[in-house]
């Protein structure tokens, strides 16, 4: 009996001697793995973001918009300013509600941050956006209802170059000229003086332009011109069609292609 007990004790000691190092190794691996995971998460958090709010995984992967990461996590980016939309323009005629709303001109990159450190790359960004917007095609508020085409072109050029709304606030005035450009700079916040302006965001700037340039009465008058347009003496069918498209453009494209074709047929002599 004693021999059997001694044998059992010796077997347990042998098994303990064999298993104990394995436990220690597993514990070491678990600790190392946990530290590695924490390190990767820390690198992701500390990974540099681009001036337009892009997020890098820190491992050479593709850049992902930080705003998209925030939406995926269901929370705001820590420390990022909140994006607020200005009060809607509510016209008496519902037909004009959509084109007088600033939301359709919003940019895909909704990061509203902008500071002096980001200003250094603004000239290069302007050149890139100009390639899409059109060089030497600055707008001087003539005609006033050209604001719709201007904002549509800027929104397209901005999205093509993934411009953030924070940068767009200071970039949009660069595509205007004359009195309009001077007035825009008087209503914008100043980075040098540190003061706030009448507008403090890209969306507020868009809303301001719509209020200043596209009043409801002007839209109604332009709409009447479109519906009453007809071919003039000495005007070719093609010339009339081009003029009609110009009238439609100044109406903010509220008329469909079907209405455009119908008006063209009715207006021909």
What pLDDT score does 46 carry?
39
What Rg value do the Cα atoms of the chain yield, rounded? 31
Phi, psi of 63 (to 5 degrees): -80, 140
- Only one residue has tokens 């899409």, namely 132
Lowest mean pLDDT among 2-16, 108-122, 251-265: 2-16
Tell me the pLDDT of the chain averaged across its residues: 77
Phi, psi of 9 (to 5 degrees): -65, -40
What pLDDT score does 103 carry?
93
What pLDDT score does 17 carry?
53
Determine what percent of the chain is predicted with pLDDT higher than 70.
68
On the 0-12 / 13-18 / 19+ scale of CB atoms within 10 A, 6 is exposed
Query: Longest C-alpha distance within the chain, in Å?
Result: 127
With 50 as the cut, is the pLDDT of residue 65 above it? no
What pLDDT, in 10s, does the model give residues 77-116?
A: 344 467 788 888 999 999 899 999 999 999 999 998 887 7
Nearest CA to 175 out of 117, 122, 112 is that of: 122
- pLDDT interval class at 118 (50, 70, 90): confident
Length of the chain measured in residues: 269
Cα distance between residue 110 and residue 86, in whole Å: 14
Give pTM, 2 decimals: 0.65
What pLDDT, in 10s, does the model give residues 133-190?
A: 987 778 999 899 999 999 999 999 999 999 999 999 999 999 999 999 999 999 988 7
Mean per-residue pLDDT for 22-47?
A: 49
Burial 70-106 (b: 16+ CB within 10 A, else e): beeeeeebeebeebeebeebebeeeebeebbbbeebb
Cα distance between residue 245 and residue 243, in whole Å: 5
What pLDDT score does 217 carry?
92
According to DSSP H, which parts of the chain are helical? 2-46, 66-73, 122-133, 147-160, 165-171, 178-187, 202-213, 216-228, 237-250, 257-267
What pLDDT, in 10s, does the model give residues 217-243?
A: 999 999 999 999 999 999 999 999 999
Between these two residues, 97 and 22, which has the higher pLDDT value?
Answer: 97
Cα distance between residue 152 and residue 136, in whole Å: 17
What pLDDT score does 53 carry?
41
Mean per-residue pLDDT for 198-202?
A: 91
- Only one residue has tokens 């990461």, namely 69
């Amino acid at each position: 009996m004693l021999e059997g007990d001694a044998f059992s004790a010796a077997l347990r000691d042998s098994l303990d001697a064999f298993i104990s190092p394995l436990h220690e190794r597993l514990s070491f691996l678990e600790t190392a793995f946990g530290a590695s995971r924490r390190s990767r998460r820390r690198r992701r958090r500390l990974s540099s973001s681009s001036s337009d709010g892009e997020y890098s995984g820190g491992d050479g992967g593709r850049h992902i918009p930080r705003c998209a990461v925030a939406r995926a996590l269901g929370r705001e980016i820590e420390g990022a300013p909140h994006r607020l939309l200005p009060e809607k323009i509510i016209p008496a005629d519902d037909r004009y509600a959509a084109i007088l709303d600033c939301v359709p001109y919003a940019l895909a990159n909704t990061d509203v941050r902008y500071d002096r450190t980001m200003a250094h790359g603004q000239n290069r960004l302007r050149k890139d956006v100009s390639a899409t917007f059109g060089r030497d095609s600055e707008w001087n508020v003539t005609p006033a209802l050209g604001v719709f085409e201007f904002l549509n072109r800027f929104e397209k050029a901005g999205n093509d170059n993934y411009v953030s709304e924070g940068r767009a606030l200071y970039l949009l005035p660069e595509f205007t000229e004359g009195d309009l450009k001077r007035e825009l700079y008087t209503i914008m916040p100043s980075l040098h003086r540190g003061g706030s302006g009448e507008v403090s965001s890209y969306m507020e700037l868009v809303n301001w332009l719509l209020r200043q340039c596209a009043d409801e009465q002007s839209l109604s008058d332009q709409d009447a011109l479109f519906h009453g347009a007809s071919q003039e003496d000495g005007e070719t069918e093609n010339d009339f069609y081009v003029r009609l498209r110009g009238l439609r453009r100044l109406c903010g494209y509220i008329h469909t292609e079907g209405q455009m074709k119908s008006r063209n047929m009715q207006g021909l002599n």
